[in-house]
A and B are shown apart, each in its own frame.
Chain A
Amino acid sequence: MRKNKKELFETIYYQHQPMVLQMCLGFVKGDDDLANDLLQEVFISVWRNLEKFKGESTYKTWIYRITVNTCLQYIKKDNKVTMFSISEIENQLAVADNDENSTNPNIQRLYKAIGQLKKIDRLIIIMVLENQDYNSISEIIGITPTNVRVKIHRIKKRLEIILKNNKNG
């Protein structure tokens, strides 16, 4: 059982890690360290709840739900001394070497613009960018599809204004 769980977890991890990381990056305005912290929190929750997955939705929708709740509950751990293991330090170095996104000004601008939205709006617009339909978003957030549609329309308008202002400024 434990071995099966590990195999399933690793399959889910490798399939959904880029999606979760990008969602977290969008939520924390492109901050790599915070996004990686969030990513770990999300997959810790996935591991702990794997047995509870009933197949009522796809793994993708299920992981979105965990990601949205994790992002909203996340409290920035400022002024806290954190002890890193050697593997974590190696991992951080790999981030510095491999992360092309942190040097891509276009995507950084987009992350920063999304970061200027309200917390819940950031996550909704990210799900839209990820091609999630209204029904899935409504299922994840817990509001009606009509309400989702109205919200998305407002968020798109707000995002457009932010991007225009950022361009001019």
Chain B
Amino acid sequence: MDNEFSELKNKWGKSKKNINLSITNIESIYTKIKKKEKENYFFYYSTITILLATFIAISLFFYYVAPVEETLSRIGAGLMIYGLLFRIFIEVISIFKAKRINKLDDTLKTTENIINFHQFRKKIHTIIAPIIIILYTIGFYMITPEFSLYIEFWNLFLIDISYVIIGIILFIIIRKGVKKEMQKLNDIIKLKDDITE
């Protein structure tokens, strides 16, 4: 076996000499570095930007456009706004956990950090996000009675129905996210088993 392996080593060594330096020129690496920096920024901050924009829009809406007066409506508006605020807080933790994945660590530690990150993402998708959506929905329907005093029945009916449709779309998106996250998690757990076996 040792002789055969030495032969493989020889083949390996010879083939390296054939690898030409022009295969990837350094300029294309610099171009990719710039592109990657932009992509990373988008990866980390896109979700939080969308959530923050929604939070600001809803807050401004309840403050300037429709300042609800009844207690039931106020609780409803609170559920919607604080639910979003909580989701933003969770996203900040998620970014923090993602940044802890460091390619400079040894493979086992990196793998453990990735598992930790995906387990957290799984919790977001399976527990936190549904709870926030349920609270948001309850809040939305709690403000409906007061809105019905100012909006025509059919308009309100359309708003309520469209919310259900948006809810179904959100459910499908979240389900897809969970499946993807679960697949990644399983792959990485298997990798960790392979490292430690």
Contacts and interface: CB of A to CB of B under 8 A. Distances in A.
Contacts of B8: 110, 129, 159
30 contacts: A17-B21, A18-B21, A21-B24, A36-B24, A40-B32, A44-B32, A45-B103, A47-B29, A47-B33, A49-B103, A65-B104, A69-B110, A72-B110, A73-B114, A87-B28, A87-B31, A91-B25, A99-B20, A104-B18, A110-B15, A118-B194, A119-B191, A120-B194, A129-B9, A131-B9, A141-B195, A142-B105, A142-B106, A143-B196, A156-B5
B127 interface: no
Interface of A: 10, 13-14, 17-19, 21-22, 36, 39-40, 43-45, 47-49, 52, 62, 65-66, 68-70, 72-73, 85, 87-88, 91, 94-95, 98-101, 104, 106-107, 110, 118-121, 129-131, 139-143, 156-157, 159-160, 163
Contacts of A21: 19, 23-24
A71 B163 CA distance: 43
A5 to B, nearest CB: 12
A104 B28 contact: no
A130 to B, nearest CB: 8
Nearest to A67: B103
Interface of B is mostly: helix
Nearest to B107: A141
A49 B31 CA distance: 17
B1 interface: yes
Contacts of A88: 28, 31
Contacts of A85: 28, 31
A68 B107 contact: yes
A133 B67 CA distance: 70
Nearest to B4: A160
| Chain B contact patch, size range | 35 or more
B107 A120 contact: yes
A131 B5 CA distance: 12
A159 B12 CA distance: 14
Interface string B1-42: 100110011011001101111111111110111001000000
Interface of B: 1, 4-5, 8-9, 11-12, 15-16, 18-29, 31-33, 36, 103-111, 114, 191, 194-196
Contacts of A22: 12, 15-16, 19
Contact of B107 (A39, A44, A140, A159): A140
A13 B28 CA distance: 12
A159 B29 CA distance: 34
